[in-house]
Structure 1
Amino acid sequence: FAAIHMSAISSSMIEPSKIFSIIISTKEYPYLEKEFIKLQNEINIYGYDLVTALRNRSFNSPSRKLSELFNGLATSITSGGNLSDFFEKRSQSLLFEHRLDKEKQSKASETFMDIYISVVIAAPMILMLLLMMMRISGLGISLSPSMITLIMVLGVTLINIFFLTFLHLKQPEGL
């Protein structure tokens, strides 16, 4: 989303290094703000030109996407390309990747929901029915109906805790 913002700023034909200052001043992207401040420091304090600073930050960037953005921007500036077009195309590709990631997460959620329904809702009912039939026929375990219910409730509780832990671990970072 920051690339879309940068595209709008660059369309005003502003100096490329000022784009980062404007994004920093908005306080809208706290993680990018840290990286852009490092970029500004390389330009203002260390005296690097914008292209060198972009290449340095692309090597030290914690994000692959940000690294690609810095590298592409440095290449675009060096080759004399149109920054507005660069940011427009880059923002479109990043937005497309974002949509694909969300779609993958949605498909995974659907799968987990199906598993949850079959394991937590259907399986205990079938197991309880099976245990009741075994009790009535005199085969197997001789547990009272209240004991069978207690076992089912505890089992469902443990399965729910397992599922919550699993979903928490599978949740993508940043959410």
Structure 2
Amino acid sequence: MNSYERFCFNLIGRDLKEKRGEFIKLRNDLVGARMNTPFEAYLATAYVSSVIVGLVAAVIIGLLTYLLRVPEMITYRGAVPEFLYALNDYKLLLGTIIITLISLAIFGGITYLVFLLYPGIRAGERRRNIDATLPYAINYITAMSSAGITPAEVFRLLGQSTIYGESAVEARYISRETDFFGKDLLDALRTVSQATPSERMREFLQGAVASISSGSNLTEYFRTKAHQYTLENNQQQKTFLETLGLIAESYVTAMVAGMLFLIILQSVMTILSGDSNPLFLYIIIYLIIPFGSVMFIILISSMTPEV
């Protein structure tokens, strides 16, 4: 924990232990993301930060609202109850208070939501990295095991490697369980398999536990899993390329040919109508095309497997 998280924990964190059952997903995400902040400290930081951000945003927006006299710019010409006419003289003050409270709720709520979602996002990133590097890590493990190195030392060597990403991080946690907490290898593998965010890594570690417990050939198990995950990666890449080709065709159809057709059609209609302000044409050029292109970029980026 850093000093700010420690301050938040000392402020309200000790009263949040009874909330552990209400935030099971958050606790699992914190473990899967390998964030070193305890649950109570993280939740206390979320609460305190939400209040601080909400208050700061509310004060700033409230001051701007009052100084710019925004409520007085709003004019309602419909019928209203009689008692609202008496409040018209206080429109600036009441409008500022309402906008300030709304700003407090919005910015505080967004900050709290970000704190709740962030561990899950980090855990998802780790999961993708583990799934991408696991076949290569298992090949490394297989080579070490074939050389006669003990399983515990194999995972320790994998954890010391810098080229296998988050798979090496999970191996370091296995070594931590055995070296610092005195667990045997089977208990360490079980502990890490329950905490890892990757289904592939969990399956692999649980299979290793079963193989060691039954006295099977662990090296042969490593070799089989390496071959399996390599085939799965190849199939995943093939599926991704096929999907990418479909997305490319959709982009050409919708964002190139479709937009070009709309631009030409709107230009002709503008000339025929003599309109000097073709609003829809501006919307196509400056809003729809850039926004649509960004959406395609985000889509491709989100579905691209790590390598």
Q: Identity over aligned residues, as a percent?
A: 22
Deviation at 1:117, TM superposition (A): 0.1
Deviant stretches of 4+, over 4 Å: 132-136, 146-152, 172-175
String of CA shifts for 1:40-74, please: whole Å, max 9, x gaps.
Answer: 12212222221222122212222111111111111
String of CA shifts for 1:14-57, please: whole Å, max 9, x gaps.
Answer: 11111012112222223123222221122122222212221222
**Does structure 1 residue 171 correspond to structure 2 residue 303?**
yes
How far apart are the structure 1 equivalents of 2:176 and 2:152?
A: 11
In the comparison of the two structures, how many residue pairs are matched? 171
2:30 is matched with: none
Deviation at 1:133, TM superposition (A): 5.0
TM-score by length of 1: 0.81
How far apart are the structure 2 equivalents of 1:27 and 1:159?
A: 39
1:27 pairs, out of 146, 156, 162, with 162
Q: Secondary structure at the match of 2:220?
A: helix
String of CA shifts for 1:104-130, please: whole Å, max 9, x gaps.
Answer: 221221121111100111112322343
CA gap of 1:157–1:28, structure 2 versus 1, over 3 A, is closer
CA gap of 1:46–1:151, structure 2 versus 1, over 3 A, is closer
After TM superposition, list the pairs within 5 Å mapping 1:127-142 onto structure 2. 127-134=262-269, 138=272, 141-142=273-274
Counterpart code for 1:89: T
2:261 pairs, out of 126, 132, 137, with 126
Counterpart code for 1:21: R
Q: Secondary structure at the match of 1:90?
A: helix
Counterpart code for 2:215: G
Q: CA RMSD in A?
A: 2.7
How far apart are the structure 2 equivalents of 1:152 and 1:58?
A: 51
Deviation at 1:87, TM superposition (A): 0.7
Deviation at 1:98, TM superposition (A): 1.2
CA gap of 1:122–1:34, structure 2 versus 1, over 3 A, is same
After TM superposition, list the pairs within 5 Å mapping 1:43-82 onto structure 2. 43-82=178-217
How far apart are the structure 1 equivalents of 2:187 and 2:294?
A: 51
**Does structure 1 residue 158 correspond to structure 2 residue 291?**
yes
Q: Secondary structure at the match of 2:149?
A: coil
How far apart are the structure 2 equivalents of 1:149 and 1:74?
A: 64
How far apart are the structure 2 equivalents of 1:119 and 1:92?
A: 41
After TM superposition, list the pairs within 5 Å mapping 1:77-156 onto structure 2. 77-134=212-269, 138=272, 141-143=273-275, 152-154=284-286, 155-156=288-289
For the Cα contact (< 8 Å) 1:128–1:148, is it kept in 2?
no
Q: Secondary structure at the match of 2:292?
A: helix
Range that drifts further, 68-77 or 151-160: 151-160
Q: Which runs of 5 or more structure 1 residues have no equivalent in the other structure?
A: none
